[in-house]
Chains A and B, each alone.
Chain A
Amino acid sequence: MTKQSVRVGLFVTCLVDLFRPSVGFAAVKLLEAAGCVVEVPAAQTCCGQPAYNSGDRADTAALARNVIAAFEGFDHVVAPSGSCAGMLKHHYPRLFDDDPAMKARAERFADKVHELVSFLVDVMEMPDQGVRWEATATYHDSCSGLRELKVREQPRALLGKVEGLTLTPLPGAETCCGFGGTFAVKYGEVSTDMVSRKCDDVAATGADLLLAGDLGCLMNIAGRFRREGKRVECRHVAEVLAGLRDVPAIGEGG
């Protein structure tokens, strides 16, 4: 199989679909630049984490069946989110412990699932895109991408090639920002406390741009920055890699 014929199903993720389509377009642009043929199945909604993390296993399994059916025909399934990719890859097979046939299908499907940036680097070995972006940026490691999928060096490697971008390390980059999906609403005060400390850490780096690979964390951090009245731009790493400079940062009007 040559790289040109790699067929990728883009799992958009519900947050990107609803809140920030730009990230989806950035993902498509990057995947195509890396030599993939990208399709976006219409039969996708959400990976099911809101239900899964609330203990609603039946609804989660139903959603998983939908996603597997919509995506199992592709060479690869790619999501611009470590959290959703982790769900598809590591949690879907566990949902079918009492259904061996479905479990086997879920496992075959899981083998094809990747988080966007690690896919670009590890699988597609994407060549340099010659993107320019003037900023001092720092990078937050989202929990699932980091721990379930080992996404750590890949985004830093690609960001290192962006001209004009200085990447400054974020102390505590691997500490959770307090998003946790429904956690942020159910335990809002605890979550707010956690994200406040994340914002302090980001602000202390002096960076004017915060990047991460998960829109959930980014909306959390950007939302807190806005509430605090601090101006640190928050963006999905794919936006910078694809050079989408014209799109306002997360939570910025326009």
Chain B
Amino acid sequence: MQTTSHAFKDNARKAMADVDLRTALKRVETGFTTARRKAADRLPEFEDLRDAGRDIKNHVLENLDFYLERFEERVIAQGGKVHWCSTPREARETILKLCRSVDARTATKGKSMIAEEIALNPFLEANGIEPIETDLGEYIIQLADEPPSHIIGPAVHKTKDQVSDLFLEHHWKYGRTERQTDPQALVNEAREILRQKYVDADVGITGANFLVAETGSTIIVTNEGNGDLTQMLPKMHIVIASLEKIVPTLDDMATIMRVLARSATGQEMSVYTTLSTGTRREGDLDGPEEFHVVLLDNGRSEMVGTELQELLRCIRCGACMNHCPVYHTVGGHAYGWVYPGPIGAALDPHFLGIEEARHLPSASTFCGKCEEVCPMRIPLPRIMRYWREQAFERRVGPPLERAGIRFWAFFARRPALYRLATRLAIRVLRRLAGRRGVLTALPFAGGWTDGRDLPAPEGRTFQELWKSGRRSP
């Protein structure tokens, strides 16, 4: 995916002017947050489960090699294969080779953020293989030729009207000439069109929410059941997953599952939880003849043992963006790459470099809401701060901003000098404000005064008054 993270400010401006997007984001803000609150309140042990989930993932990260190797052994024992890929390119090429080995013309796809991370679709297309998204949201944005704007609701930025228009435009060729407006009718229309594609597909590609070391299983959760058809009907099932998805046992998976859907959508569980373990066995009614797990690293193993390690606990539930006031304001596309919202702000600089992604960790008020709701208790603000420190150290970003901070700090570190300077500055500001009580424009602070007034200082500093013996205003 082409990144536009460097243009965050422009992206944000466009997003804020988009009325449809605002409507859609309001739905995220009220819908998801209320649902999570209720789900969490209904489960007394919810907070304990968060701790347990965090501990499981921490344990895994301490023993990553062990569990990954164990997982591979189990996959092989069930007739499957694991492909270790350190870069997106390797992963893409591995998948292409697999597709070609069965002369695939089309591949159905379940929802996968890793497929987005490695930009799989355009690559397959360029190589003559048609990827067909089967998750409704992914299907919608595939038609619209847009990247996802949310990690669990890729088309959450689209209104129903926009979907009606898109379907009419693209389903014309299947003889669908009536514009549907009822949500159920839209879903049915997409399902009917996808049905034949499931049957025709040579390869089914899915992501994975979990990889289970004990059994060699990969697990996906969906609300549409599309993943099941994607992985069971074609000859070959390819799972594309990043290595931190590993958990030791099915019980561990179950523990984390209990916080996953509740955090994401407020459901107790997603409608479908599908375990895939190896290839079709004798006597099985269905299942793939070949089962491949493409295991992507893409710099993740380098994160172990660093400030970023805790990010590897992420289960991609989306709660952090569902609750983020900045995400509610600018939407997912403004972040300019695969992962939006707080998790994106903390993770994307690792993939894109801090030069490209510098705005993402900066464009946060550190309100802390994301950390409050993250089921895996990832200290997202702390990691965003880490990136700000990296940017500052490497002199990324406007020199004037940096100079401004250093200039201010020069005074703030010297109380006596600071007293003198601030006394003066405050008097000037007070003068400028006159009797209005506010300043309406200020050089160097246009970001503030373009959208709001600056309340004027009362006139003298507290320290000055205190020193002069004043004890009341």
Contacts and interface: CB of A to CB of B under 8 A. Distances in A.
B392 A56 contact: yes
B363 interface: yes
Size category of the binding interface on chain A: 35 or more
A192 interface: yes
B438 A251 contact: yes
A155 interface: no
B450 A219 contact: no
Contacts of A247: 458, 473
A248 interface: yes
B436 A224 contact: no
A188 B437 contact: no
Given A45-B415, A223-B453, A252-B437, A190 B326 contact: yes
Contacts of B84: none
Contact of A176 (B325, B412, B445, B470): B325
Contacts of A45: 411-413, 415, 418
B329 A190 contact: yes
B367 interface: yes
Given A50-B405, A183-B364, A223-B448, A21 B473 contact: yes
A228 B13 CA distance: 20
B454 A223 contact: yes
A180 B461 contact: no
Interface residues of B, number: 72
Interface in A182-196: 182-196
A22 B473 contact: yes
Contacts of B467: 42
B408 interface: yes
Interface in A125-171: 143-144, 147-148
A250 B454 CA distance: 10
Contact of B463 (A12, A193, A222): A12
Interface string B397-418: 0000110011011011101001
B447 interface: yes
Interface of A is mostly: helix
A18 B456 CA distance: 10
A175 B325 contact: yes
Interface string B1-26: 00000000100110010000000000
Interface stretch (A24-32, A71-79, A101-109, A115-123): A24-32
Interface string B200-237: 00000000000000000000000000000000000000
A59 to B, nearest CB: 4
Interface string A184-212: 11111111111110000000000000000
Nearest to A40: B466
B450 to A, nearest CB: 6
Contacts of A246: 473
B431 to A, nearest CB: 13
A176 B369 contact: yes
| Most chain A CB within a 10 A radius of its CB, from B363, B402, B466, B467 | B466
A254 interface: yes
Shortest Cβ-Cβ A-B pairs, 8 listed: A188-B447, A192-B451, A180-B365, A55-B392, A253-B437, A55-B388, A176-B367, A251-B455
Interface of A: 12, 14, 16-22, 24-26, 28-29, 40, 42-46, 48, 50-57, 59, 62-63, 66, 143-144, 147-148, 174-176, 178-196, 219-220, 222-224, 226-227, 244, 246-248, 250-254
Interface of B: 9, 12-13, 16, 325-326, 329-330, 362-369, 371-372, 385, 387-393, 401-402, 405-406, 408-409, 411-413, 415, 418-419, 422, 425-426, 433-438, 440, 445-448, 450-458, 460-463, 465-467, 470-473
Given A19-B426, A20-B455, A253-B437, 6 more contacts: A17-B461, A175-B325, A183-B364, A190-B330, A196-B451, A223-B448
14 contacts: A12-B463, A18-B462, A19-B456, A25-B473, A42-B419, A55-B387, A62-B409, A143-B366, A144-B368, A178-B365, A181-B365, A189-B447, A224-B453, A253-B434
